[in-house]
Amino acid sequence: GLLAGDVIVKVDGEELAPLMEGLDDTAAAAKAVTKIRGPKGSSVTLTIRRPPETTTFDVTIVRDEVPLISVNWQMLDTGV
């Protein structure tokens, strides 16, 4: 039920905006992640606003491992 561009307003009923006040984007994202992460198999309820709408809705998700895709590189003989 989540789409690109959705805004997470609350995590388990706790407003995120006051926690992020005065933080840059990187620090704010890190703060949100700490609220969303938890033990694998546990659930968390996210309150979502989907612009341009002003109303919100709740989505409950079950936490799981999220694989991180890394980048591999190789230097070619051509210098690329």
pLDDT at 40: 96
Check: pTM over 0.95? Answer yes or no.
no
| Gap between the Cα atoms of 17 and 28, Å rounded | 9
20 Cβ partners below 8 Å, 6+ apart? Answer: 27, 28, 31, 32
pLDDT at 70: 84
pLDDT in tens, the chain (80 residues): 789 999 999 999 999 999 999 999 999 999 999 999 999 999 999 999 999 999 999 999 999 998 888 888 889 999 88
pLDDT at 57: 97
